[in-house]
Structures are given as structure tokens and as C-alpha cells.
Structure 1
Amino acid sequence: MPSSTSIVVGVVVSFLLFLLFLRKLFLLFSRKRIMDSSRLPPVPVVPGLPLLGNLLQLKEKKPHKTFTKWAEIYGPIYSIKTGASTVIVLNSTHVAKEAMVTRFSSISTRKLSNALEVLTCNKCIVATSDYDDFHKMVKKYLLNGLLGANAQKRKRYYRDALIENVTSKLHTYVKDHPEEPVNFREIFEYELFGLAMKQALGEDVESVYVEELGKTFTKQEIFKILVHDMMEGAIDVDWRDFFPYLRWIPNKKFETRIQQKHFRRLAVMKALIQDQLKRKDSHKEEGSYLSFLLSEAKALKMEQIAILVWETIIETSDTTLVTTEWALYELAKQQNLQENLYEEIRSVCGGEKIKEERLPQLPYLNGIFHETLRKYSPAPLVPLRYVHEDTQIGGYHIPAGSEIAVNIYGCNRDKNRWENPEEWKPERFLDEKYDTSDLFKTMAFGSGKRVCAGALQASLISCVAIGRLVQEFQWKLVDGEEENVDTFGLTSQKLFPLKAILHPRFP
């Protein structure tokens, strides 16, 4: 039998060997971390206090423009500090697609601001939900019930009616107010909102009584609550977004403002839905997105259904307007390009009005659509994604806990990909290296599993609208309009509505 002394010695030796083994592992792990850290994206110089990171450099309301300037110095991928968070900013199509497609499984969750967390009912809409079973389910509903190819065919008459209403109102305005500028947004926005209401609810609602708010709201007031106020709220900044460990400190003014917008939005949506439920047994047209959800989405609560229906209303009412308005602005500014489009339409359509079936035969019109998306992407920045496991993008190690910001604005101004990116040149998309049938070449609709479900509808409405409006009118900017290129907040929407003089091309 071994002595007690030999047993103790054996235990001590074994323990020392185990410590040496752990030390070796620690050194290997430390060396790997050092090697990985050396591959981190470069960080811009931080002015001021270390606690603030790059926040002082981002105090202007157009961070996508600042990100693009930094890309010229630090390359297409770099990291910044926004208070307590590290954000990896992607500024080229190559690294953006790598993140959205190849590395998607590592960054498939969303990181929302405090405002968006409230306004989306904690990720209850398709655009901001995490990529999980809920996202897959509601996106399937969205495609089958509203935005998929088959659903779009069923609702074609809504789009045709939109175009006819817009052109008719413009002809009436020009006849009654010759040589006076027309506010294009005022007319197009009203009709686009009407289309959104028809698709979402089954009818274009002119007014609704909201019991919770104790009054009847007009269509214009409904638009303000459901669209304008929500856009305004989405870009509202809460300083606690940058310092999450200080969330316990109240910010009552911000919280009250956001909660009021949310309460009014939800109250109006519930009233609109209740009105439709009362008419369920009438002879009104069925097949709206609301009726589809009520029949198919048995697992969803009524509040979730209300928010999903609201999502289609705001997204239809906003993004298509942005693209169409900027395209007409550029065509009115560059008369030679406007005439190029008119001649293409005349050579293909003759005296017939342009229809959706003709779009594949109009490459210049398609080029105008894509070039407008490139220069004026409706969403300059993709909502932040959260890196939940270590990954790599662009050859750099991206540690878990980081956030990813895809700068669409920067991707579409990358001088390595686009020649003279600040110029609006539709002819660039006539080059054979670009496939004009690809809706996602400019990243405006995203990429991968989170690609925008409304891309098809947006392209159909915008392309036909641009074509018909140039086919029937000659557009000319009013004096001073050329300089009105400011945008609203973090969006690409024109700060000031387009004002133009219109001359009918034919009776």
C-alpha cells in the first residue's frame, strides 16, 4: 500500500501539472484574442470624453453622410463607439451583402431604439422583428395576403385606379390653374394613402369615429396619426439609447411624447378595424389584408393584427412616394433626360397609355427607377442588427455584443463601384454589367432572408407613375426648386414638396 506521503506528493504533482495545462490554454487563448483583436476594423479618432465615443461627431441629423465620409478614410468597414456600444459600420455593397447573406445567422436579431421599441410594439412588425418563427409566419401572411406576385395580380385594379386618379387630378389642376406650380406630393400622397387603406382594410376610409379619443377624424387627420406622426417618432432620439446601463433614469418628456403617438395610432387602428368588422356581412369587397389575417392568423392577438395592418399602411404610403417624387424632380431639372424617357415611351407605346405589361420593354424607365433608388434610397440606414456570436465580415473579426449598421447611402455612393456617384445618371443602368430585372442591385430593398416584401409593388407603382406622368405632361421646376434638396430627418424624403409647372403633351 502506498504511504500517505507518496499520495500527497502525487496529488500535488497532478495539481501542478493541471495548473501548467491551464496556463498553457490561457496563453493560447490570450494569443488568439490578441491576433483576433488585431483584425478588428479601424476606429475613427474619438474627440472629447472617452465615455461619449463618437457621439460628438454624430450630432448632425444625417449620420449616414458622416459614415460615408469616414469610409473614404477608414475603408468600407470600421467600428465606432456610440456611448456604451460598439457599432460596426458597413459602407460597401460587398461587405453589406456578406453581412446580410453569408453571416446572417450570426446577426439575425434587431437592436431597436427606445422609440422604435414602443412604436413597433416590441418588434411586432415584419420590418423590425427578429428573424425567428414569428418573423417567418407574419412575412408569409404578408406575401400571401398582400404583397406576393399572386396577391399583386389580384389587386392590380387598385394600382390602375391610383394612376388614373393622379393624372386626372393633375389635368384638372393644370386646366384650372394654368402656369401655376402644382404641389405633386399633395396629390400623389393622398391617392397613395387611399390605395394603402384599400389594400389593408378593404376600402378608402374618408373618416372614422374613435371612441377612445372622443372625436371623428378626417382622412387627412388619419394620415397624420398613422403615417406622419409615426415617421417623426421613429427618428426621435432618447439619450438613454447610447447608455443602456442608465435606463433607470427617467426621461419623462421623451416617454410621454412617444407613448402619446403610440396610443393615438393604436386607437385609430382599432376604430378602423371595428368599422370593417361591422361591415363584414355587407356586400363590400372582401380580400383585404385585414380579412386575410382575421381568417388565417388565429394565433395572433388583435393588437398584433392591428400593428401588422398598420405596417402595410405606413410603408405603402411613404417609400413609393419618396422614389417617385425624387425621380420627377430630377427629370424636371434635366429636360434632355425627360425627353429621352418620353421618346422611349412613345416608341414603345405609341398613342396608348403605358401599362405594367410594357415595363420590360422600357429599359430607360427602369434605369430611372433604379438610379433614383441608388441616389435617394428611402431608407439610408438599415435598422441596427445585433451580433449574438463572434463572426467575421470583410476579413475582420466581429466580436459578439457588437451592433451592425448597414449604410445604404454609403453603399450607393461607393466610388469603387459607381462612377461619379453624386450624379443622377439613369443611363448607367443601360450598361450590360447591370441587370435591370434585379430589384436588389442598389440594396434599397435589402438582401437575403430579410429582403423587403414590398419591392414588387413599389417598383410597379413607381415605374408606371413616372412613365404616365412624363407621357402626359412636360415637367419644369419653378425658380428656386432646384436647390430644395434637403431631406426630412434620417429619411430621404424631400423636406419640401416638389413644386413644378406642368404642360399637357396631348389632350
Structure 2
Amino acid sequence: MDYILNPFLYLVLFLSLYLISKHFHRKFKNHPPAPFLTLPLLGHLYLFKKPLHRALTNISNRYGPVLLLEFGSRKVLLVSSPSAAEECLSKHDVVFANRPRLMAGKYIGCNYTSLAWTSYNDHWRNLRRIAAIEILSTHRLQMLHDIRADEVNFMIRKLDSSSKAGAPVEMKTVFFELMLNLMMRMIAGKRYFGENVEDLKEANRFREILTEILAISGASNVGDFVPSLKTVFRSLEKRFVNVQRNRDAFLQDLIEECRKQIAENISSGDSTEPAGKDKKKKKSFVRVLLTLQENEPEYYQDEIIRGLMSVMLAAGTDTSSGTLEWGLSLLLNHPKVLKKVQREIDERVGQERLLEESDLANLPYLNCIIKETMRMYPVGPLLIPHESSEECTVAGYRVPAGTMLMINVYSIQRDPKNWEDPEKFRPERFQGLEGVMRDGYKMMPFGSGRRSCPGEGLALRMVGLSLGSLIQCFDWERIGSEMVDLTEGIGLTMPKASPLTAICKTRPFVAHLLSQTGV
């Protein structure tokens, strides 16, 4: 009998010694604390449940705001306090400016060369400069404001038709198509959803690729953290390979089409603007990048251009459409707030014209609503992970080089230590701070430091114009008496678990305004 029990006792003894040695090693090295039970191979992965941002919030609430977890073989610094976030993104900004090498970065991030996934180096600095100056500068965004106005008007017309039919509207799809059309028009000058789609075959191809990218981007890949399990997740990697191949082929076709148009323009004596009836259109992002390629072909290679296009699509669609869906959901659950912001728009914009981007600065309560939506439901609840290039000290603890950094923005922005009544939707808390999106490091939906989102300006313009236009043009109602379900779903951009469906009724003055627009 003793002989039979010996293997079990040996196993218990081994695990006990393993856990104790781990605990004292952490103490000896002055590493941040962590849950005591650290399993061989898995580390702390056994603690994770979906959605991940909530699971990590629960872990931080129990063990502390600065933890050094083990995701299998990877050390992960989990930060859930403003002061520690400030240390990481300000004091140690350069140290944490790298990106970890995950499967998503290899395939979706163009083999770790895209703006979002490349590490901190000269290549990243060049990409950031291109994005900030050539693509997302205030001047460039202002040049393309007509496109944003057009797409919002298309959305209003579509909803007006639904209003006349008396049918509820599934808003997730409306918002997603709005943002996809906007980004594709800015990138390549084409629409892929709704009316006026030039090439249906190409549009269907684009939708299939996009659907697959969104499906696999939110998939958890334990193989990133437990190398011995990589073979188990081989099917996921095959999906990544296929979607990368299809996406790159699609984007390359767009580049070749634009290159052909430029060549035709040059042969006709016009090297600066599109030919024919498109002369009045502003240059698309692809056209701008191809123009730069003519001067610096060794750097502005097609791979670089495809990477920038891919980042624009990924960062500019699901995120902004998600914010719009959360914002309208919150307003439907708080009809007094909805009426208040509608009155603000009526008083400051009126009913003689449609709301414009230039009006947003004069709509403080609308801006407060957007900020409160982003505080409660940040579409990047954990930001894109960083990685330390060398050892540093955070909150008095030593953090080893090569540690992955995860900042739980969701936890910080809902922490009662940072916010009064954080679970309540109260736009008034931001009155007096309308022109500022960040509140120190208590609120940073776009991140902070060198790796903060360069598309913040575009996102705020589009969310403000879209949400403001919906409030100006329609009266909104929930379906039935039940509150809109605000349960968070699973995915990198924290979607709603149940897509928003609502009833919109066109306000009387809108028909006349729509008849005056040229869309």
C-alpha cells in the first residue's frame, strides 16, 4: 500500500517544493506579487475566464494593482492603477515601447512590421511619422471631411427608410458598415456596403476577408504562451496564414489599381489628381503613399503600404463602430440624458441644417457623453500589449527585461478609488473637461506615450459627428420596456454580447434637410 501511495506523495512533494521555491524566488528578486498557485507549464492561465478584462480585474482586486503573472512561459506585468500606468508609459515609456511576438503580430501585423506590431526602432519611428503627417494630420483629416459627412448622410438616409417602414434596426451592422465605408473611401476611394457600390464582386471578397480577420483576431491562442501546445493550435495558425494571404492579395490589387490610375493620369498630362469625373475628389491614402514611393522607392515599398492600409482598417472600424453602439445603448437606457443632449443640439445647431464637424466644439454635453462612454466601455480594455526591453522598477518592484506589459484600462476607468460611482453613467462628471480626452492616467481610452493611438483625432471626429447626427435627426426608443442589455461580449474590442436593436423615428424637419443634400 505504501508503495502504491509513494508516486502520489512524490507528486505532492514536488508541487509543494515548486510552489514554495517560486514564492521565495519572487521575494528574493523583489518581483511584484502574484497569486501563490503557479502551475507548471500553465503558470496562472488556469485563473482566466472570458471576458479576459473582467477576469484580470478580479485578480487585481484580490492580489493588488501591480502583479507579475505567468502566462505559461511568459512573464506578464499586469497594471491596474493610474500611478503604475504613469510609471510604465511616462517614466519608462522607452523601456516598454516594444511589442511582444505573438501570432497575431506575425500574421495580422505583417510579420511584426506594421505600425501596431513592430517594436520600437527606426522603422517604427518612420511609420509613426508617416501616419502622423501624411495620413492622420489635422490638415489631412480636414481635407477629407466631405467623405465623413457623405457617409453619415448615407446612414441617415438608410435609417430614415427604416423609420418609414416602422421596422426595428440592428445598429451594430449600421455602425460597422458606416465605419468600413468611411475607412475604405479614405484609403482607396471606394465604398463596399450599401448603395453606390462600384464592384459587387470585389465588395463581397472584401467582406469575406474582413469577417475572417475579425473572427480570428479575437481568438485566444494558448500556443503563444505554452510552446509545447503549439501543435494543438495548428488549425488556428492555418487560418491566420490563409487570411493574411487573402488580405495581402486584396490590398495589393487596390495598390495596383491606384498605380494604374496614376500612370493614366500622367500620360494624359495630369499627375496630381484622379482623371475624368473624379478630379474633384481628394487624394486617397494609397495615392498619397504611392506619390511618396516615387521619391523614396527603397523605403515606401508595397509591403509597407499594405501594412499601413491594414492598420488603418483594423484600428478605424470595429473600434469606432463599437463606441457608437455602446454610446447609443447607454442613451437608450437613460432617456433623460438623451433628451438633454438633443436639446443642446437643437439650441446650438438648430433644425435648419444638418450637424457638421465644426459644430462639435460647441456641443459640450455631447462630448461629455462620448467621454463617459469611452470611460465605461473602452473598446481597447487592455490596450495592445507592450514588452520591456530592459529591467526596470515599477511601484518599487523589479520588472525583468522581456516582460509583457498589460494595462487594464477597463479596471482603471471603473475603479472607485479613481471615480465616484464608477458603475453609473454620469456624463456630467466631465463637465469643464470637454476638450480633454485624458484625465491624467485615470482615463486613457487611446493609450498614452509613444505607442498611443495616432488615430484619436479621426475617431473623435467620426464618433462625434455620427452620434450627434443620430440624436439630431431621430427620436430613439427601446424595443419594449426592458432596458438594453449592456453585457460585455468576448473579443479584443469588447463588443456588446447582444447587438443593439432599436426603433428610430425621423423627426419632422429632417425630410427637408435630406432633400437639400447632394448625397
Q: TM-score range by the shorter chain?
A: 0.7 to 0.9
Matched, 1:202 2:185: no
Equivalent position amino acid for 2:469 in 1? R
Quote the Cα distance in structure 1 between the aligned partners of 2:63 and 2:479.
Answer: 41
Q: Which residue of 2 aligns with 1:42?
A: 33
2:157 pairs with 162, 168, 190, which one? 168
1:490 and 1:313, CA in 2 relative to 1: closer, same or farther beyond 3 A?
closer
Q: Which residue of 2 aligns with 1:440?
A: 438
Note the alpha carbon deviations across 1:195-236, whole angstroms, 9 max, x for none: 11111113335366xxxxxxx73424413313x322222233
Equivalent pairs counted in the alignment come to 459
What pairs up with 1:407-446 in 2 under 5 angstroms? 407-430=408-431, 432=432, 435-441=433-439, 442-446=443-447
Please report the TM-score for the alignment, with normalisation by the length of structure 1.
Answer: 0.85
Note the alpha carbon deviations across 1:84-105, whole angstroms, 9 max, x for none: 1221101122221221121012
Q: Which residue of 2 aligns with 1:17?
A: none
Note the alpha carbon deviations across 1:110-150, whole angstroms, 9 max, x for none: 00321332111122221222121111111211122221111
Q: Which residue of 1 aligns with 2:207?
A: 223
SS at match of 1:370: helix
1:305 Cα deviation (Å)?
1.3
Work out whether residues 148 and 453 of structure 1, in 8 Å CA contact, stay in contact via their aligned partners in 2.
no
Matched, 1:290 2:286: yes
Residue range with higher mean Cα deviation, 90-99 or 361-370: 90-99
SS at match of 1:45: coil
Note the alpha carbon deviations across 1:314-363, whole angstroms, 9 max, x for none: 32222110111111111112111101111111222222432222222221
1:491 pairs with 493, 503, 516, which one? 493
Q: Which residue of 2 aligns with 1:90?
A: 79
Equivalent position amino acid for 2:33 in 1? P
Residue range with higher mean Cα deviation, 273-282 or 34-43: 34-43
Matched, 1:241 2:224: yes
1:494 and 1:257, CA in 2 relative to 1: closer, same or farther beyond 3 A?
same
Work out whether residues 109 and 386 of structure 1, in 8 Å CA contact, stay in contact via their aligned partners in 2.
yes
Tell me, which stretches of 5 or more residues in structure 1 are unaligned? 1-32, 209-215
Q: Which residue of 1 aligns with 2:215?
A: 232
Q: Which residue of 1 aligns with 2:473?
A: 472
Equivalent position amino acid for 1:263 in 2? R
Equivalent position amino acid for 2:287 in 1? S
Q: Percent identity over the alignment?
A: 26
Equivalent position amino acid for 1:265 in 2? R
Note the alpha carbon deviations across 1:383-423, whole angstroms, 9 max, x for none: 22222211112222212232211111111112111112222
What pairs up with 1:366-377 in 2 under 5 angstroms? 366-377=367-378
Equivalent position amino acid for 1:222 in 2? F
RMSD over aligned CA atoms reads 2.3
Quote the Cα distance in structure 2 between the aligned partners of 1:192 and 1:492.
Answer: 17
Please report the TM-score for the alignment, with normalisation by the length of structure 2.
Answer: 0.83
Equivalent position amino acid for 1:89 in 2? L
Equivalent position amino acid for 1:86 in 2? K
Quote the Cα distance in structure 2 between the aligned partners of 1:142 and 1:92.
Answer: 30
Note the alpha carbon deviations across 1:436-491, whole angstroms, 9 max, x for none: 21223321111111121110111011112111111111111213562253324232
2:111 pairs with 115, 122, 125, which one? 122
1:478 and 1:253, CA in 2 relative to 1: closer, same or farther beyond 3 A?
same
1:169 and 1:251, CA in 2 relative to 1: closer, same or farther beyond 3 A?
closer
1:308 Cα deviation (Å)?
1.4
Equivalent position amino acid for 2:218 in 1? I
SS at match of 1:400: coil
